[in-house]
A and B are shown apart, each in its own frame.
Chain A
């Protein structure tokens, strides 16, 4: 259908930040169930911010979608013919556009709110100080050095507050979280209420009555700035310090190959804990290699293919169909248990053979690389001036010695099923890097012998910048003992379980240093 092709085009352009629609098959049912899932399980998406500005991107995308639609389906608007874009599709497009624009709008909206609040907070003390001079200058009592001291303290405190607020709230965010950050929202509300109450007080007691005591007004402004600094201190404790003390031990399991890691986290909300876990994931977990699982999948297929059920009594009636299926599966399980299964034998010999092959290839590889490294020599400074001919920079040197080890390396990577992780370009780059830094052949080979963390590989492998957090509890609620949530990406999911670190009751016992006495177990013999 025409609509199918347009959506595959759409997903091609959507690329990074719209990864949830990446796979292009946009049948209506799938979309509907996705919405239902998100409502029941509270699945929300975590977006890492892409490089280019999103508003511009979505606007361009929107136009392209429109162009594709208008180009191919001329009867789009009526919704009456079978080959047209129906109302549902239009609604879906607009909803998607709103979603994408909504996400960016939300980000810029919160940023704008924060900036306005910051300006309000910053300018309020200054306004308190300046307004009396503007409104009733002749009635004001001049105050001397005490006031000047207070002016200086206000100035410095405001400067510190400015820097501190920038450091805590306005640095570029590392990731986009699904729900609003509860503590920040609460703090913003608190600050707003505070400043509003100060303005009210100021308006009633000072502006209306046109108070002449300027020192009192200045002290009022100073008290506001002090209180703001204390609120900032509270913000630091809530946002930064509270989560530092470890309180929970989380166990993160990757669903495809069962890699398990344990981390200690403090008191965090589920979405912030998920963010912390993902940052650890990129650094600690070895890269996900789906090629390693093909063996177990083929074994599983062989188990199922071994037995077939024949219904000898002829086609039964529909009422007994469910019972029939149940008894069929039980018969299959019983037969599978009874037959002499030699698949464990095959597995054992296959694994031994594979290991032998890997070791052999590794030996060949090590020898080839060591030999290749002996072909180049670093030139010293004096030699460089003497013999300018045939001098190579690291890249050319790498390209010169690469062919002699390329075959052995490629065979080794194929045997260990890593060949898609490393491209020839990346290998040559790594070789040039090792040559520049005087590394030994063993150091060059280490990154190919063991799979490293996901960050080490090229960006193709760092595919999952779009993660979905699936949790039964609300994602802004805190971590509790026994809370379980999933972090799903395209290829696999990470299952996270939490356990509380137990309360430790410690008591003391004093040992007198003189109380250490010993006897020999051997009986001593004394002659009398």
Chain B
């Protein structure tokens, strides 16, 4: 099944500011990277991220078969996210 795909651009005000959401999953568990928590009043909520969204691409890097640790590493460089939203 395919859900509508959105592209989101996150611009951080401070370089060490978090994006405001938590991810779960990874290729070691056999699933993709999903949003599991969105902090209220954060950047992610403003951009419209919701729980259950799957992260498809980050900075043109396809998050198809990426492990959880690698997904976390990319976090600091995030400029744009492509999500598939429920």
A interface residues, Cβ below 8 angstroms from B: 519, 523-528
Q: How many residues of B contact A (CB 8 A)?
A: 18
Bitwise interface map of B from 54 to 69 toward A, beta carbon under 8 Å scored 1, else 0: 0000000000000010
Of B21, B25, B26, B71, the contact of A527 (CB 8 Å cutoff): B21
B residues near A523, Cβ cutoff 8 Å: 24-26, 29, 68
- Per the bound structure, the CA–CA distance linking A120 and B71 in Å amounts to 94
B23 pairs with A525, CB closer than 8 A: yes
A residues near B75, Cβ cutoff 8 Å: 528
A residues near B26, Cβ cutoff 8 Å: 523
Question: A525-B36, A526-B71, A528-B18 given. 16 additional CB < 8 A pairs?
Answer: A519-B28, A523-B24, A523-B26, A523-B29, A524-B24, A524-B68, A525-B22, A525-B24, A525-B37, A526-B72, A527-B18, A527-B21, A527-B22, A527-B39, A528-B72, A528-B75
A526 pairs with B68, CB closer than 8 A: yes
The A interface, classified by DSSP as helix, strand, loop or mixed, is: loop
A528 pairs with B21, CB closer than 8 A: yes
Nearest chain B residue, comparing its CB with the CB of A523: B24
- Per the bound structure, the CA–CA distance linking A523 and B31 in Å amounts to 10
The tally of CB-CB contacts under 8 A between chains A and B is 33
B23 pairs with A528, CB closer than 8 A: yes
Min distance, Cβ A142 to any Cβ of chain B, angstroms: 94
Min distance, Cβ B9 to any Cβ of chain A, angstroms: 15
- Per the bound structure, the CA–CA distance linking A525 and B25 in Å amounts to 8
- The 3 A-B pairs at the shortest CB distance, nearest first, are namely A527-B22, A528-B75, A523-B24
B37 pairs with A527, CB closer than 8 A: yes
- Per the bound structure, the CA–CA distance linking A527 and B21 in Å amounts to 6
- Per the bound structure, the CA–CA distance linking A523 and B69 in Å amounts to 12
Min distance, Cβ A526 to any Cβ of chain B, angstroms: 5
- Per the bound structure, the CA–CA distance linking A78 and B37 in Å amounts to 121
A residues near B18, Cβ cutoff 8 Å: 527-528
Interface status of B8 (Cβ within 8 A of chain A): no
Nearest chain B residue, comparing its CB with the CB of A522: B29
Nearest chain B residue, comparing its CB with the CB of A526: B72
A residues near B36, Cβ cutoff 8 Å: 525
- Per the bound structure, the CA–CA distance linking A519 and B18 in Å amounts to 26
Min distance, Cβ B39 to any Cβ of chain A, angstroms: 8
B19 pairs with A528, CB closer than 8 A: yes
- Per the bound structure, the CA–CA distance linking A528 and B29 in Å amounts to 19
Min distance, Cβ B15 to any Cβ of chain A, angstroms: 14
Considering only residues 30-44 of chain B, those with a C-beta below 8 Å from chain A are 36-37, 39
- Per the bound structure, the CA–CA distance linking A519 and B39 in Å amounts to 28
A residues near B71, Cβ cutoff 8 Å: 526
- Per the bound structure, the CA–CA distance linking A496 and B75 in Å amounts to 76
- Per the bound structure, the CA–CA distance linking A519 and B26 in Å amounts to 12
Considering only residues 1-29 of chain B, those with a C-beta below 8 Å from chain A are 18-19, 21-26, 28-29
Nearest chain B residue, comparing its CB with the CB of A528: B75
10 CB-based A-B contacts, threshold 8 Å: A523-B24, A523-B25, A526-B22, A526-B68, A527-B23, A527-B37, A528-B22, A528-B72, A528-B75, A528-B78
- Per the bound structure, the CA–CA distance linking A523 and B23 in Å amounts to 10
Nearest chain A residue, comparing its CB with the CB of B68: A524
- Per the bound structure, the CA–CA distance linking A519 and B29 in Å amounts to 9
Min distance, Cβ B23 to any Cβ of chain A, angstroms: 6
Min distance, Cβ B42 to any Cβ of chain A, angstroms: 10
B residues near A526, Cβ cutoff 8 Å: 22-24, 68, 71-72
- Per the bound structure, the CA–CA distance linking A525 and B72 in Å amounts to 10
A residues near B19, Cβ cutoff 8 Å: 528
Min distance, Cβ A522 to any Cβ of chain B, angstroms: 9
- Per the bound structure, the CA–CA distance linking A124 and B49 in Å amounts to 109
Most B-side CB within 10 Å, residue of A523, A527, A528: A528
- Per the bound structure, the CA–CA distance linking A528 and B19 in Å amounts to 6
